[in-house]
Copies of this chain bind each other. A is one copy, B any other.
Amino acid sequence: MSRLDSFIRRVTAQRDVLDHISAEVAGMDGPVIELGLGNGRTFDHLRERLPGRRIIAFDRALAAHGTSTPDPEDLVIGEIRETAPAMAGIDAALVHADIGTGYADKDAATLTWLPELTARLLRSGGIAVSGLPLEHSELAPQPLPASVSQDRYFLYRRK
């Protein structure tokens, strides 16, 4: 399979998982945390699915399209590992993390801190959606929607 084919599957899986959980998140208090704003396409999708919800986005550099740039108070620029721990305890309803790189060594380094960070950002019962698998005792894996193959995108609930 080409990298284009697997990218299409990954981005489609991301969208399908977010659509799968958005009604439940809509009924839960707490902000949404977007780790890895990038071009802002997923930010735009979340904004559409969760109208009015506060979405706080993180990236090491602003590279979003002008129409998908958060307000300054909802945008945190810097290394997520350094900036996001300040928001531990914010009781987020949803944390979405799309910060895989396609390099196994870089992703392994990310996974030394991302699961714990995610658990600390979420409220009890809150949801984590991630492109990288999050192994953490407080994050319980959840069934994926039928359209998404195992290991393409990951879904958890904070205990």
Q: A interface vs B, CB < 8 Å?
A: 2-5, 7-8, 11-12, 14-15, 39-42, 44-45, 47-49, 65-68, 102-103
User: Interface of chain A, helix or strand or loop or mixed?
Assistant: helix
Asked if B3 contacts A41 (CB within 8 A), the reply is: yes
Q: How far is the CB of A63 from chain B (nearest CB, A)?
A: 11
Give the CA-CA distance A67 to B7 in the complex, in Å: 14
| Contact partners of A12 in chain B: CB under 8 A | 8
Ranked nearest first, the 3 interchain pairs of A and B with the lowest CB-CB distance are A4-B45, A2-B45, A3-B44
Give the CA-CA distance A41 to B10 in the complex, in Å: 13
Asked if B65 contacts A3 (CB within 8 A), the reply is: yes
| Contact partners of A68 in chain B: CB under 8 A | 3
Asked if A45 contacts B11 (CB within 8 A), the reply is: no
A-B contact pairs, 10 of them (CB 8 A): A2-B41, A2-B44, A2-B48, A2-B49, A3-B44, A3-B45, A4-B14, A4-B41, A5-B15, A11-B11
Which residue among A3, A4, A11, A41 has the maximum number of chain B CB atoms within 10 Å of its CB?
A: A4
Asked if B67 contacts A3 (CB within 8 A), the reply is: yes
Q: A4-B14, A8-B15 are in contact. List 11 more A-B contacts (CB 8 A).
A: A2-B49, A3-B39, A3-B40, A3-B44, A3-B65, A3-B68, A4-B15, A5-B45, A8-B11, A8-B12, A67-B102
